[in-house]
A and B are shown apart, each in its own frame.
Chain A
């Protein structure tokens, strides 16, 4: 089958996500008022006509399984193909004990699945990438360019936790693969790669034999023997790898130009819906410069914030520069600024909590303040 297959990695635990990452992998972190990070990778693939997607899981994937269900939201609940959950069933070690040492170990853990892929090409994506990529165009340019591997890069060298950076020549051929840089340079890799199924299997087998599990190290080793080409994406592309990055990227959504790049109507991002009524703003409510999901009830003041479904802000409460996850309750006259509150947090009446733009405070899931 001459098409594209998707593999999304959802296993990495990033310590800089603090409380947000304790109960979930970065890929299932809520983002943008109604999404989970993985919704973006899934929608990018589905919008390019991809029908088969495997999700590589490891560690705390309960939250991910809950979210994905049968894959119906993305039209990936199919008789043939569709969404496949991939815990490391071929993994040699005692799995669940040690984290994967790299993408290749993760792929080796599901090696028999790779053989079953019906398509000739595979797109590898990270579950913690928030972006709206034109994957159909990227795939087309991969096939046309004759590249062995197409590496999708952001048009910047922003520092991201444990990022990979690429340098290239004028024709777009990758000349250098860099990581663990003190000061990032080159183009920021989005950890999105397209290559043939054949080459992918060959790399996985070869590397397993050599006990080499780092994908980027392998690219570095083979940068001369393989034709590695770049695709530069100049729109919004966030890798959610630390609380600070999470916060800054969330606040960027208040900019209409950024929203236009991420929520392109031609390539809609699909997410599981919450069966909630419309959001209601009360007679004394004030809600400005904010992104607000369904089912909220706002009787107090909300400024410069992102509200997920079902958030309640009672009369007299003030929420500024915050990200409030699903079903959070801010009681009367409580004041919050620079707070990221995980699901089901309740801030009791008259409490005041202040973080700072450079150090947003995270309230763990279910906490009562």
Chain B
């Protein structure tokens, strides 16, 4: 079945910079915004952009992600001529290997892509929160007659050295690419979203695979090789909300951004819905003494205490007299009466005992350094215990260092 354009979603990331929070799941399966998983964003963008065929490359701890994606029905990706496909590494007749890098992951699935004989392939990453119309980007790619189009956004100059930076000419064609340059020549950062003409990409992937010195990575190897060979490389400028939520702080930030649509992250816009596989639970109940302000909650929760500047996932319990502020509570967490949770991310199914105090404000630790408090999924904190700011606890309640 020929398709003009299909998407390949790199969802194999270990999420090592999310430390204990990922538990047994791959990073793209991490809950976000009280309702979503990170992967809902690229999947919904695909369906809203008219891309009905998506390959999801998985590798580490894929069980939760696989069962979450299921048939793809929540994203309307269960069509009979395309839909979402989970693509783990596999053994062929000549053996098989783990995905060695982002480019190798696509290389190992050339067979899958060839099934659809596409003109264009969109390469996406599974750890970004953003809303983007990929069909606009593909249009830019066609119009520029490019072999590769990279979406870029302007970042503050003083942060530019943390990104892959593109230098462009007057037509926004890429002239130079530098990974984390010390002296950036531009402030256009790559967002890790690419459109390739499949013929060109297929050739470069094959060459890259044959090079024993290559790390088989798009940013480090494939893109520079294409540039060196004088391929037409276009930049696609994006100015909406975009955040890489690969770290605990950025994940927390993005959740807080969701509370303020001024941040640019407006999830209530019905013209570009973000779909999710939703849990089946009754509406949330707010008790007589509940005080909820500048916060979001989802289904199945029971809130009796105070919740401020926080994001609550489904089936959360906040007991009488408890206070949750500037925190992100993942599904099924319980904060018992009288407990305080501040500036924390609590993993799925955590239980905070009565009168515990978890985390603290940035002011509270001055002049000592401060950090978010993070609890692994399933972690239980005994009543009355104090968990200081910046501490990370494993499932068994043991302190883990970053």
Contact = CB atoms under 8 A, between A and B. Distances in A.
B354 interface: no
Interface string A274-289: 0111111111111111
B35 A278 contact: yes
A32 B283 contact: yes
Contact of A278 (B281, B285, B286, B311): B311
Nearest to B308: A283
Nearest to A277: B267
A291 B273 contact: no
| B interface majority secondary structure | loop
A278 B282 contact: no
Interface stretch (B125-133, B288-296, B341-349): B288-296
A259 interface: yes
B292 A32 contact: no
Given A278-B296, A278-B298, A294 B286 contact: no
Given A279-B297, A285-B293, A293 B288 contact: no
Given A277-B274, A288-B289, A293 B296 contact: no
B294 A282 contact: yes
Interface stretch (A133-141, A160-168, A179-187, A262-270): A262-270
B275 interface: yes
Contacts of A279: 284, 296-298
A33 interface: yes
A281 B283 contact: no
Given A277-B268, A278-B311, A291 B284 contact: yes
A326 B299 CA distance: 15
Nearest to B285: A291
Contacts of B282: 32-34, 259, 262-263, 269, 291
A76 interface: no
A297 interface: yes
Given A263-B282, A288-B287, A278 B293 contact: no
B286 A280 contact: no
A291 B294 contact: no
A278 B329 CA distance: 13
B277 to A, nearest CB: 9
A290 interface: yes
Of the candidates B283, B288, B296, B298, the one having the most CB atoms from chain A within 10 angstroms of its own CB is B283
A227 B285 CA distance: 44
A270 B280 contact: yes
Contacts of A282: 293-294
Given A34-B282, A294-B298, A277 B35 contact: yes
Nearest to A269: B282
A66 B296 CA distance: 29
B155 interface: no
B396 to A, nearest CB: 26
Nearest to A270: B280
Nearest to B295: A281
A360 interface: no
B32 to A, nearest CB: 10
A293 B299 CA distance: 7
B294 A294 contact: no
B288 A275 contact: no
Size bracket, chain B contacts: 35 or more
Contact of B285 (A259, A262, A285): A259
Of the candidates B35, B278, B280, B286, the one having the most CB atoms from chain A within 10 angstroms of its own CB is B286
Contacts of A50: none
B294 A275 contact: no
A201 interface: no
Given A277-B268, A281-B295, A291 B283 contact: yes
B83 to A, nearest CB: 16
B33 interface: yes
A271 interface: yes
A204 to B, nearest CB: 35
A273 B292 contact: no
A259 B301 CA distance: 12
Contacts of B287: 288-289
Contacts of B284: 279, 291-293
Contacts of A278: 33-35, 258, 296-298, 311-312
Contacts of A307: 283
B259 interface: yes
A319 B352 CA distance: 33
Contacts of B33: 277-278
Given A271-B280, A292-B286, A297-B268, A283 B294 contact: yes
B71 to A, nearest CB: 10
B283 A33 contact: yes
A295 interface: yes
A270 B299 CA distance: 13
B310 to A, nearest CB: 11
Contacts of A288: 286-290
B389 to A, nearest CB: 24
A283 B293 contact: yes
A294 B282 CA distance: 10
B285 A256 contact: yes
A30 to B, nearest CB: 12
Of the candidates B34, B268, B276, B291, the one having the most CB atoms from chain A within 10 angstroms of its own CB is B268
Contacts of A290: 285-286
Contacts of A271: 280
Contacts of A33: 282-283
Contacts of A295: 268
Contacts of B259: 280
A294 B297 CA distance: 8
Nearest to A302: B286
A138 to B, nearest CB: 23
Nearest to B315: A265
A33 B299 CA distance: 10
A289 B288 contact: yes
B265 to A, nearest CB: 10
21 contacts: A33-B282, A34-B282, A259-B282, A259-B285, A263-B281, A263-B282, A276-B268, A278-B33, A278-B34, A278-B35, A280-B295, A281-B292, A281-B294, A281-B297, A284-B293, A287-B286, A289-B288, A292-B283, A294-B35, A294-B283, A294-B299
Interface of A: 32-34, 72, 254, 256, 259, 262-263, 268-271, 273, 275-295, 297, 306-307
10 nearest A-B pairs in the assembled complex, by CB-CB distance: A33-B283, A278-B34, A278-B296, A277-B267, A293-B283, A273-B278, A263-B282, A281-B292, A283-B294, A278-B298
Given A277-B35, A289-B286, A297-B268, 5 more contacts: A72-B73, A276-B268, A279-B284, A282-B293, A291-B282
